[in-house]
Amino acid sequence: MHGFLQVIRRYLSILLAGLTFTGVLSSCGISTSKTPPSSVVKVTAWMSGKPVLVFGSSAEGPRFLNILRSAGYVGYMGSTSDLSHYKSLVVLSDSALDVNQVDQVKSWLQSGGSLALLSPALDSTFGLRLSKQATSVTSVTDPNLGTPVNFQGSLDSFGNLTNASLVATATYASKKVAIAIQESYHSGKLLATSFDPFANGKNGFEILPSLGSTVGKFLDAPRGPQSLQTTLYLDPGVLPANLKYNFAQIASDLVGVRSVELAAWDFGFTDPAADYPYQQLINALHDRGILVYAWFEPPFVNDYMWQKYPNCREVNEAGKAAIGDWRELIALEDPTCFSLAWSQFASVLSSFPWDGVNFAEMYFESMAHPKTATPFSPTALAQFGGDPLLNQAAFETFREKLVAQIDGELLAKVNTLPNASSLDKELTVIDDTLDPTEAKNIGSNMTLLAQVANNNGAQLQVEDPYTVWSKGPNRYIAVNSRVKSLVSPANYSIDINVINRGASTKPTAYPTMGELNLAAMEAGMVNSKVDFYALGTISSIDLKNLSYAVAGSVVDTPTGVVANFPVKVSVPATFSRLTVDGTPWPTANGVGVIPGGTHRLVWSSGSALSPGLLSIDANLGNARILAPNKIFFDYFSRSTVYALLSALPKSISASAASIPVSATPDPNGGFWVKLPAGRVSIIATF
């Protein structure tokens, strides 16, 4: 929990520094010195309505803000003295409001405020009646999910529903009972739950997974910051038939995604017509400013390799050709077979305009299942030099070193390709922090693999093993802590698998909404490049929210943001001018791209002062307006960069050298401009 405590401390330090409201501590029942409350800070960063105020203690307040922000909405903690300036409020169960403060909230609500009451103890104060249920509910119906929530436990429910609308229900003795409702309250409106989302050690999503988005929508909260580094895996072979070859639709579905890991093994078939048309999909993605990485799964190569060279098939302990799940495994430890495999990898890498390559999940079949364990090819046994069954510990160490060796050789080979300079490199490995036994069983040693990535200029992508996928979002705190001790934060990312974990998994078979949002937030706490598997398994509602979820750790303040990484912020398009820390910023249509750090944002209306920078898939350093027809920005990227500009530039210089203008119009407005990799300063003239 060390990482989570750091988040709380960071948030409280911001509060105490006066970036939000110092009155929060007294409103939440925490003892403070008797000093006059600070004046209300004018909102300059979020012009689309009023952000959400949250009344809660230092225990639950930051936790709910994580839920709200990872759902894509702006909020921060406040006090009753701020109510007259805001119209949206959340009251948590540990807010400890006294009688006078409750009366203030009621008066504010009657005058037109919008309240999300997540404190059942206060329900009766607002005229809501709870009916105790002695028998446990068996499931919950969340209006935003197509399947029931797998929750069993005792829940209160609402009784008198004469003037209320149902938001969520629970099943109790074959009956539906109300556990979340909304209704008018004089001139205001009220959303209430019959349960405390944090009671009994819960994390806020177990009963109602859509709690954050439900509250944000009800309160009409402004949308929050978005990450610019979201990555999605894409395997055309598992897409629905109506989507597999619909390149424009795939690209449209992925708007807001920085890069795609595209399965690169659908080639080499006897019938060339069966090869996937990579060029067409890559073109469609590039036209939307999305980078495309060739995703390989060694020791699998492709079906051609398996069929053409049966002598290269990996062997399991039972002496049979090894197939691991869906992968047809090749004995890459054999130099001849490695060379044949590389010729396949090199062919596809050289034939299409990839932006990078990812060698993912190079591991051996688990020792926990001896008969199917690998590698037992003649070459592997000769290299080991003994009987694996008589010295399993030594064989396990041998396997770890062999995995690292093969990964290193694959990455080194990339540098021999004619297009090597344009290929970023990634190495996806299985984490050994959360389940060391599983990692040992498959031969994944992160210390060795991190060295391989560092030595070959590759980014390390860390995937947690399937054995822990039901353990909740906070597992990524430990993974982040471990990995950043092995490689620099800029050179690693975390991979989240969104797949069916089984019908009995709580709260849902697939991680979704609150659970997925918090997982994305925790995974992106250090580096906002978070990788998700996959298009086709992630629901449309989650897909649209991924960039917001990854940015859930960004602290919104009335005057700006505090972020570890660059973000995109949006306000109504009528606000076409922005200053960042007092510097006139290249913005348009109410969109601004903000570097990592602590920044003060001031939006204003009026005609734009220059064309704007609307998005960039790189680590933005700074930006400014040079003239009405000229803007500056700089960045760092390991790969080719696409920047979305609000107008078509006439000329571009990259680090003082003129480069051709390569631009594609975006259907939603603006132009995607292709820019070089590296640490680059750009001047665009319009």
Strand 663-665 versus strand 188-193 pairing type: unpaired
Q: Does the pLDDT of residue 1 top 60, yes or no?
A: no
Show the domain range for 619.
566-685
Letter string b/e over residues 211-238, b meaning 16 or more CB atoms within 10 A of that residue's CB: bbbbbbebbebbbbbbbbbbbbbbbbee
What is the band of 163 on the pLDDT scale with cuts at 50, 70, 90?
confident
**Lowest-confidence range among 32-41, 160-169, 515-524, 606-615?**
32-41
pLDDT of residue 40: 65
* Residue 486 belongs to a domain: no
| Nearest by Cα to 86 from 140, 154, 23, 150 | 23
Q: Same domain, yes or no, for 35 and 92?
A: yes
Per-residue pLDDT reduced to its tens digit, 458-477: 999 999 999 999 999 999 99
pLDDT of residue 541: 95
More confident residue, 60 or 78: 60
Identify the domain boundary among 431, 453, 468. Answer: 468
pLDDT of residue 269: 87
Q: Same domain, yes or no, for 144 and 116?
A: yes
286 vs 257: CA distance, rounded Å: 12
Token pair for residue 405? 């060796």
- Beta-carbon count within 10 A of 514 CB: 30
* Residue 274 belongs to a domain: yes
Per-residue pLDDT reduced to its tens digit, 89-119: 999 999 999 999 999 999 999 999 999 999 9
C-alpha pair distances (Å), 632 with each of 210, 577, 583, 674, 682: 40, 16, 12, 15, 6
pLDDT of residue 640: 95
Q: Same domain, yes or no, for 235 and 117?
A: no
Q: What is the DSSP letter of 451?
A: H
Where residue 262 sits, what CATH number does that domain have?
A: 3.20.20.80
Q: Same domain, yes or no, for 282 and 424?
A: yes
Q: Max alpha carbon distance in the chain (Å)?
A: 82
* Residue 354 belongs to a domain: yes
* Residue 492 belongs to a domain: no
Q: Same domain, yes or no, for 257 and 355?
A: yes
Q: Same domain, yes or no, for 210 and 304?
A: no
Per-residue pLDDT reduced to its tens digit, 320-360: 999 999 999 999 999 999 999 999 999 999 999 999 999 99
* Residue 501 belongs to a domain: no
Q: Does the pLDDT of residue 373 top 50, yes or no?
A: yes
| Nearest by Cα to 293 from 203, 232, 240, 380 | 232
Query: Mean pLDDT, to the nearest integer, of 153-164?
Result: 86
* Residue 314 belongs to a domain: yes
State in Å, rounded, how far the first CA of the chain is from the last one: 50
* Residue 341 belongs to a domain: yes
Per-residue pLDDT reduced to its tens digit, 649-659: 999 999 999 99
Q: Same domain, yes or no, for 271 and 373?
A: yes
302 vs 263: CA distance, rounded Å: 11
Tokens 């894509």 — which residue?
Answer: 72
Token pair for residue 100? 């006078």
Where residue 55 sits, what CATH number does that domain have?
A: 3.40.50
Q: Does the pLDDT of residue 83 top 70, yes or no?
A: yes
- What proportion of the chain, given as a percentage, has pLDDT over 90? 85
* Residue 494 belongs to a domain: no
What is the band of 401 on the pLDDT scale with cuts at 50, 70, 90?
very high
682 vs 635: CA distance, rounded Å: 8
Query: Mean pLDDT, to the nearest integer, of 261-276?
Result: 92
Q: Same domain, yes or no, for 192 and 269?
A: no
Identify the domain boundary among 192, 218, 244. Answer: 218
Identify the domain boundary among 218, 247, 273. Answer: 218
Contact call for residues 534 and 233 (beta carbons, < 8 A): yes
Q: Same domain, yes or no, for 213 and 262?
A: no
570 vs 295: CA distance, rounded Å: 33
Q: Same domain, yes or no, for 153 and 29?
A: yes
Query: Mean pLDDT, to the nearest integer, of 36-48?
Result: 72
Q: Same domain, yes or no, for 11 and 75?
A: yes
Q: Same domain, yes or no, for 575 and 671?
A: yes
Per-residue pLDDT reduced to its tens digit, 472-526: 999 999 999 999 999 988 899 999 999 999 999 999 999 999 999 999 999 999 8
- Kindly write down the DSSP assignment for every residue of 219-269, as one continuous string: TTPPB--EES--EEEE-GGGS-HHHHT-HHHHHHHTTT--EEEEE------
Per-residue pLDDT reduced to its tens digit, 219-268: 999 999 999 999 999 999 999 999 999 999 999 999 999 999 999 999 98
Tokens 């939603």 — which residue?
Answer: 668
Backbone phi and psi for residue 246, each to the nearest 5 degrees, phi listed first? -90, 80
151 vs 208: CA distance, rounded Å: 9
Q: Give me the number of domains the chain comprises.
A: 3
Q: What is the DSSP letter of 42?
A: P
pLDDT of residue 569: 97
